[in-house]
Structure 1
Amino acid sequence: MQEHPVPQNVTSYEFHLIGNMTLKQFFELASGGMLAFLTYSSNLPQIFKFPLIVIFILAGGALAFLPLEERPLDQWFLAFVRAIYNPTKFNWKKSLRIPDLFSYTRSQTVATAPVPMSSTKSRSSRAQAYFESIAKPVVRDEFDQEIHDKVAALQQLYDTTPAAKDVSPSHGGPDSLDEYAEKPSLVVTMHNLHAQDPSKMSGIISVSKIKEQKELKDRVLPGINKTVTIAREKPISVARDTAQGIKPERIVQPQKMAPDVLHYHSDQVAFSSQAMDTVTKATVNTTLPFPKTPTTPNVVVGMVLDKQGKIVENAIIEIQKADGFPVRALKTNRLGQFFSTSPLKSGEYRITTEKDGFTFDPITLSMNNAILGPLEIRAKN
């Protein structure tokens, strides 16, 4: 069993920069060799010279490469010197210390007498007098003096004007009412009114256009039950002014308008081309490649194909009620298939399909709480 290495102090790690020696080991070994060389070069007798040379070399090598109990010899030497000169005996003496709770002393507040104020001059007036005494006169040049005079002249324009005296009216009364008559500031003139052409008036529809729209409405949208009432145009009148010098009023009568009631479908604004489309009955094709047929009643699934029988992807299928209210909006996948996740209520439905570049006829579908097969929707082109 391999022994676990003894943990070392990572912070005091020294890199081996000179071979396998650190800088500290190199200097210790070099110091021993230097002392040995100096001893060898000295004039000491040989009986002292060679023993000292051996001692210096061994001491430098021991300090560099010979630890004792995992500590280098220099640490042992420093610890020995510190232990000799540090005291080894200590005497403990108890000192009396009073807690802060019992050494609290109340601070004495010294009442300061108020500074007597002069009855003639207040503090602000004395300060103002002091500032005026140390203020230096403002010396202005000609340009600054001219600007100062202009600003002062402008400020005089906005000075407060005194209120006007209340003048009470005399009891004698005016000599005539013309003195208090207010002269009119606006003179009203009346020009002759001319009858306008109804065909040029805004908001008026000609009778011929109304008849054409009515004939087109009766031909395209039969069975309409919602009506909108258009009120008959009222004549325009000019009120009589009581002022003198104005000519009497003239009433302009417009021409006869269309009949009071115009019938049209309120939900359809323009005649769309969808009203002309041929509505066909839904086609069920059980041979369509569906991995799983629906097992829940009133669930709609199907496939959209073009005229040649190719798959049409990303087509929008909208399922509407008989009154045109949409209940489902589906989209075909990459295989041209569409699925309805939730069943529909029983009744009559209308299915429309939209895809750029293709034209589809709307189809009708009857739901009677039964399982439906896959629907085949084929484009015209």
Structure 2
Amino acid sequence: MENHPIPQDVTGFKFKLIGSVTIKQFLYLLGAGILTTITFVLPIPVYVKFPFMGLFAFVGLGLAFVPIEGRPMDTMIANFAKTIPSENEYIYRKRGVNLATYDFFKPLVQVATPQQQTQKATSESDTRRAILLSQLRAHYITPDQAETKFLKNIKSVFDETPKPKIQQEVKISTKTEEVAVAAPEPSVLTATTDAAPTPTAPLEESESIRVVGPLQQLKAGFPTIPDTPNIVLGIVKDPRGRVLQNILVEVVDTSNVPVRAFKTNVLGQFASATPLPNGTYRVIFEDPQKIHEFEITEITLTGEIFNPLEAVSLDQRERLRRELFANLSTGTPSVQQGAAI
């Protein structure tokens, strides 16, 4: 078989002996030659011998090389032999009724067909099925509480209606009113004095780094928080509210020993994989590109669930804004004093 880039018929491949002559064609020629030789050797009259010799030679050459309608002669002869015993004669039989003798007013007799019986049986099965369904509706299945709580949490994340927010804001207002009524005014003053010795330090710290409450967690980018206590997590943003990625976050203890180190992801978030022991820690933020600056914050872990931190950077624009407001605040008393004088 010669190599050829075009796929060839492998199943119908025929071995060739001489040129394009296949083994099958060679056997037909060999058989015709043997029969012709035997006829030539037989002691029979010449007028009988030569016609048979010519017939055998013609049949052998025809079977080997002469196709009929694109098919070999042996295939056509085999098909012809198969079609001879098959029925190929058709007889026309007239079917119908004679309109002259047909009784048009003959009463019809209705007989129940098997199809109608099956429809009745199916209707009975439908009746039983309806009874079973009514019994199932009567028995109420109590859903799993844990699964129901989980589905409610997911629904609250994707719910866009402002109703839950309004209810939560109302609850917050009631709590603040109760605290304001219960706590006397001197205790509030002592709490502010104990928080920081200078009045400007806590204001700057609250603007830059703050703890996100349960109501603002979804807005800050935390649909859910871990249930494990003492897990430090948070988000880093710029003053315009855009998240910052690849910001280095380092948590050190009171001995200034690093205990955790993170890098913010694409969403600007960071979180520790394991909880920290109870104690006081400092959280240090650093920008490898030296574009943003952050303040150092101090956190205290007490074995409870830690709310996420929201750290806002200080860039050049933010520094100018703060300096402008600081100048305005310092310039206001001088104007008042001049007016008083």
TM-score under structure 2 length normalisation = 0.36
In terms of fraction of residues, the more helix-rich structure is: 2
> Which protein has the larger Cα radius of gyration, Structure 1 or Structure 2?
1
TM value normalised by structure 1: 0.33
| Larger relative contact order (Cα-Cα within 8 Å, sequence gap ≥ 6) | 2
